[in-house]
Structure 1
C-alpha cells in the first residue's frame, strides 16, 4: 500500500532553506520606471520581518529572480538573505546550484513563486507555496497558498506557516513580547 501524500504542514516542517521569487511575491508585481529608466519596487515590511524571523529560527533564506536590480540586492542585504540569484534565466539551474551551496536536498527546500517561470523549481522542491493572486496553474501545483496577495503579506504568511510547522513560532512570539516589555 502506498504511503499517503505529505500534508503541507509536514512538508513545511522539513524546510531548511526557503526561497522566494521577487516580482509578484516579495512585491506586488508592479514595475515603476523613472524618466531616466530606473526601476522602482515596493516591498512590504511585514514580509521582510517574516524573512528575518526565519533566519532567527535557523532557516536559511534565498532569492531566485529572473530580473537584475540593485534594489533587490539592497533589500536582500537589509534582510540578511545570504543566497541571492538575480538574472536567473534558468531558475532550475540556479536552484540546483543553490542546493549545493546551502548543503540541502530538494525535500529540505521551500519555494514561493507566482507565475510560470517559477514552476520548474516549485515542482522539484519539497514545499511549494504561492500567493493568493498567483497564476492559476501555479496555484494548482502549490502545496500551500497564502490568503494575502504578493507584496501584501503573502511572504509573511508563509514564514509564519513554516515557523508554526517547525514549532518555533511561539518561542519567537514570546521573545518579541518579552522584548516589548523590557
Structure 2
C-alpha cells in the first residue's frame, strides 16, 4: 500500500502519522525466513539492500528502529550495527514485554509504534501496536490481526515498503525524492 501499490486507507495513514518507532521481527520480515546452517556450524542470512536503505531513510526522518527477534544471531548483530540500529533485542520469546519496556525507555506509547512480524510470537505486538503489520507469507491467522499486510514478501523489500509508506504518510516522501533528484544524498 505505497506509491507502487494500492492507496492506503485514510484511517491507516492517520495512524502511520503518529509512528515514532518501527519495530521489526527479523526472520520472515527482514529475511525470507529460511535458516541456512554451514558445515562449520555458522549461520547465513540474506538481507535485502532495499530494506536496509529504507531503514536508513526512516531513521534520518527521526523514526527510531528496533529489532526484536526470537533467535540470537551474530549476523543480525552485524546487520543492525551496519544500519545504525540502536535497539536490538535478540533471543526474545515474549516480544510484547520487550516492546513495552522499549516504549517506556523511549517515552512512547504503543500508539506511536508500528510493529511488523510474521508468526505467533509476533501476534500480541501486531495486535497491540498503533499499526500492526505483517507480510504475505505469514499464516492467515497472523495476517488477519494486522492493520497492513505488505505487498512484498519478507526478505524481498517488505520493510522498504513499510518505510516508504511511513515517509509518505508523514509527509516526508517528497523531501526524500528531492534529495536524491538533486544529488544531495
Native 8 Å contact 1:131 1:145 kept in 2: yes
The separation in 1 between residues aligned to 2:15 and 2:138, in whole angstroms, is 20
Structure 1 residue 160 corresponds to structure 2 residue 164: yes
TM-score (norm 1): 0.93
Residue from 42, 45, 53 that aligns with 2:57: 53
Structure 1 residue 101 corresponds to structure 2 residue 105: yes
2:47 counterpart residue number: 43
The separation in 2 between residues aligned to 1:117 and 1:15, in whole angstroms, is 22
Q: Which portions of structure 1, spanning 4 or more consecutive aligned residues, are displaced by more than 2 angstroms?
A: none
1:173 counterpart residue number: 177
Residue from 147, 151, 158 that aligns with 2:155: 151
Residue from 25, 30, 37 that aligns with 1:21: 25
1:3 counterpart residue number: none
1:86 counterpart residue number: 90
Native 8 Å contact 1:24 1:114 kept in 2: yes
Secondary structure of 1:12's counterpart equals: helix
The separation in 1 between residues aligned to 2:163 and 2:16, in whole angstroms, is 10
Secondary structure of 2:182's counterpart equals: helix
Secondary structure of 2:30's counterpart equals: coil
User: How many residues are matched?
Assistant: 177
Q: Alpha-carbon deviation of 1:34?
A: 0.4
Q: Deviations over 1:1-30 (max 9, x none)?
A: xxxxx8221111110000010000000001
Structure 1 residue 133 corresponds to structure 2 residue 137: yes
Structure 1 residue 112 corresponds to structure 2 residue 109: no
Secondary structure of 2:144's counterpart equals: helix
Secondary structure of 1:84's counterpart equals: strand
TM-score (norm 2): 0.92
Q: Alpha-carbon deviation of 1:169?
A: 0.9
Any gaps of 5 or more consecutive residues in structure 1?
A: 1-5
Residue from 3, 6, 11 that aligns with 1:7: 11
Q: Alpha-carbon deviation of 1:168?
A: 0.5
